[in-house]
Structure 1
Amino acid sequence: MSTSPSLPLPLPLPLPLIKRLPPGLWTALAWYAAAVEPVVEYVVMPPRRYYSLSYPRDGLDSPGAQALLAVAFVLVMAASAVLRRRTSAAYGLLIVGTVISTVAWRQDEIPPTQFLAVDIALCYIAATRPRRISLAAAGAALGTLAGYLALRSIAGDDSGIAPEPFMALTVVIAWLIGNSAHQARAHTAELHARAAAEAVTAERLRIAREMHDTVAHSIGIIALQAGAAARVVETQPARAREAMLTVEMASRETLSGLRRMLGALRQADQDEEHTGQGRAPAPAPLRPAAGLANVEQLAATTTAAGVRVEVRWQGRRRPLPADIDLAAFRIVQESVTNAVRHSGADSCQVRVDYLDDELTVEVSDRGRGGGTNTDTGYGLIGMRERVALLHGNFTAGPRPGGGFLIAARLPIPAGTEAEAKAGAR
């Protein structure tokens, strides 16, 4: 038996540059660019006609100023290296390094371009950490700016426009951007979790419907044949032996169906494990699915069990989409099972009508017209769910003249006949 080779998994799309580089590197690039630029422009380069009061040419002449600037560089480098692992400590080192750099230049305010690195780190914290931590980080940045503004006010320096309010606005904007990213990530995770829960629920309902439709019918046949065998075992041994052979065959078919279903569940678990390990899932063996082609066999089995089933086909029989074909068969199977177990009728009629744009399935009997007290109603619920998933109409209830009627209308999408034939080949 040959198996088809596993298809390779598609290569993941490359991440954008802003996500490929770690946040600490972006923070370091912004801080070092703002710190090195004045050193190169006002100290290293030859003197020019213009100069800067904030960065005087002799500002770093003293060994103390050079040592402070070196300490600031080291602190910021350490902060950038551990920003992802020790966010709070790294953020504190970044603010301290920024303050020390201003002390080295004997400045009374933080340059806005250099404070941009603090905004980048704050945005990362707000995007990846709890809100209380990000608010504390934003408060630390705003407190540092307020401290500079207070020191200048105490010193009586009122020259120029204070940059702290503008820088405080950038802090707020950075926190809002990061917090929005945090909320978007949390909302996406919630949607994924909800989708996974809905998928699990849908799979459980599907398995419940399949088990109910497959097992309930077989158990009904087994119970009917076993009861008949018990009644005639002494008077008609040959008939009793035939009934028990039918019980054996139905039991084996039920056991085989349960094994196939458990195998499919185990295969799904293995596929999920392979997918999580980056390997392509092994192709599952293909098995023919049940469909309306099995209705005649179902009718023969039920008739042999003692309840005569008449099947009437109307319209032009043609291939149907697999989901519609399976749903129609399960509706017939469950309806016949209900007639055998609950109606008390000795016969039921099945009518399948192929129309141009829909498939009509009706199952009727002349029994008591309702379920027994032991009927859980899961069969009707399962049929109603199947029809609803296919956007059809489902009705079930007592007939006016006695008995019970189950009717379902399943819409057939246009242009599916050719696709169904191709799938059948």
Structure 2
Amino acid sequence: MDRNRGIQWSDQIYDAVVALVLLGVGLVGTAPAGANEGIGIGRATYPLVAVAALALAVRRRWPLATLGVVTVATTAYLVLGYPYGPILFAFLVAVYTVAAYLPLRTGAVAGGVALAVLLVHVVVGVRPLGLLGAMPAAAWVVVPFAVGTTVRLVRENAARGRVDEARRLADAERLRVAREVHDVVGHGLAAIHMQAEIALHLLARKPEQAEAALTAISRTSKEALDELRVTLTVARRDEAADDRAPTPGLAQLPQLRDRLAGAGVPVTVEVTGEPRTLPVAVDLAAYRVVQESLTNVLRHAGPATATVRLRHTSSGVEIEVTDTGRGAVPGPGGGYGLAGMRERVTALGGTFTAGPAPGGGFRVSATLPVEEAQ
């Protein structure tokens, strides 16, 4: 039933056209075929030809029933001694349909039964052929069955390829969203954690400064939530973008710098070159590289300061983030954050390096290309 629901009107029309064409070929070509073989036709010739051809109009809706009707009509035609002619085309199409549209085992059983029935005409009937006639009769089943099976396998492989491609795209989208959430939540929680530690340390002795730290926590959490909301809204294609927070980009570096300063990490931003409007993907990647680099400073560098250098060139933008901290690579193998930054940059055709800085501390460097037309 599921297969029948999947049959389109265009397929039904096509099958009907095939049936009518084969009917016309059978009505026109059977008599000449008989004359060529020196065999006459009888009263049942054309009714059997018509039944075999017209049954193909529903060949994809009911392939087994179609094969059964065509096999009986063709066998009766041959048993009566009528000439080999266009009716065999209908039989070939019926066998092909079973092989192409049914599971292999079902199609093989149906083809075997059809062959057994068809072989009746080689041993009984008006013109028995004996065992020598079995070979050509077997070819009428084996050849279309092999062709139909090949077509079905190609179609199934193509369908699996489409499923695999859809799964790959879904996995890539999940990875993208996970990376965005990691960058947003990781940075926000790191800043909040540091500010909370400061507030707890100052609460008893300098409550006014503790209040400032708590205010910074409130502001940082709100900004992180707004940014997370934007990220998840963009990921959900069926909803409009949230206008309450802008899409992250280099224009938000001042807010990012202020958040890190409130968490106890002074950040200096140096910009050289003529700033220009960057493509959204490049702008977002550049911001995420700076954000994740500063988050790593906050988490791993200890008491330190950080410097962000942006250099706008005719071919793109160059980013360098250095700190005066311990200089150790964060986490085993550089951490998920470094891997995520590298994937972002290389996906856009850029270059990325990270490691201890020559004069101490840690250095992250990235180059993001921009097309000239942009």
TM range (shorter): 0.7 to 0.9
1:62-141 counterparts in 2 under 5 A?
Answer: 65=44, 77=54, 79-80=55-56, 82-103=58-79, 106-107=80-81, 111-141=84-114
**Residue 21 (str. 1) matches residue 3 (str. 2):** no
- What residue is the counterpart of 2:250 in the other structure? 292
Aligned-pair CA distance for 1:318: 1.3
Which of 121, 136, 161 aligns to 1:191? It is 161
Which of 153, 176, 181 aligns to 1:206? It is 176
1:117-196 counterparts in 2 under 5 A?
Answer: 117-144=90-117, 146-151=119-124, 155=128, 169=139, 171-196=141-166
Note the alpha carbon deviations across 1:217-260, whole angstroms, 9 max, x for none: 11111111111111111221211111101101111222223333
Aligned-pair CA distance for 1:366: 1.7
TM-score, normalised to structure 1's length?
0.74
User: More displaced, 282-291 or 212-221?
Assistant: 282-291
- What residue is the counterpart of 1:277 in the other structure? none
Contact 2:227–2:248 (CA<8 Å) still a contact in 1? no
The 3 A distance-change label for structure 1 pair 236 and 144 is same
Note the alpha carbon deviations across 1:297-322, whole angstroms, 9 max, x for none: 21122113211111111222111111
Note the alpha carbon deviations across 1:251-290, whole angstroms, 9 max, x for none: 122222333344444x43xx4xxxxxxxxxx765666321
Contact 2:260–2:266 (CA<8 Å) still a contact in 1? yes
**Residue 365 (str. 1) matches residue 350 (str. 2):** no
Contact 1:30–1:116 (CA<8 Å) still a contact in 2? no
Contact 1:394–1:407 (CA<8 Å) still a contact in 2? yes
Q: Secondary structure at the match of 1:401?
A: coil
Contact 1:27–1:120 (CA<8 Å) still a contact in 2? no
The 3 A distance-change label for structure 1 pair 365 and 81 is same
For 2:158, the aligned partner's letter is: T
User: More displaced, 385-394 or 368-377?
Assistant: 368-377
- What residue is the counterpart of 2:277 in the other structure? 319
* CA distance, structure 2, for counterparts of residue 298 and residue 16 of structure 1: 59
Contact 2:81–2:125 (CA<8 Å) still a contact in 1? no
* CA distance, structure 2, for counterparts of residue 140 and residue 30 of structure 1: 27
- What residue is the counterpart of 2:5 in the other structure? none
TM-score, normalised to structure 2's length?
0.84
* CA distance, structure 1, for counterparts of residue 13 and residue 357 of structure 2: 71
The 3 A distance-change label for structure 1 pair 407 and 234 is same
Aligned-pair CA distance for 1:198: 1.0
Contact 1:112–1:167 (CA<8 Å) still a contact in 2? no
Q: Secondary structure at the match of 2:86?
A: helix
For 1:256, the aligned partner's letter is: D
Q: Quick one: percent identity of the two aligned structures?
A: 33
- What residue is the counterpart of 1:216 in the other structure? 186
- Root-mean-square deviation (CA, aligned residues, Å) is 3.5
- What residue is the counterpart of 2:226 in the other structure? 256
Aligned-pair CA distance for 1:323: 0.5
Q: Secondary structure at the match of 1:316?
A: coil
**Residue 55 (str. 1) matches residue 25 (str. 2):** no
Aligned-pair CA distance for 1:202: 0.9
Where does structure 1 lack aligned partners over 5 or more consecutive residues?
Answer: 1-14, 43-49, 272-281, 417-425
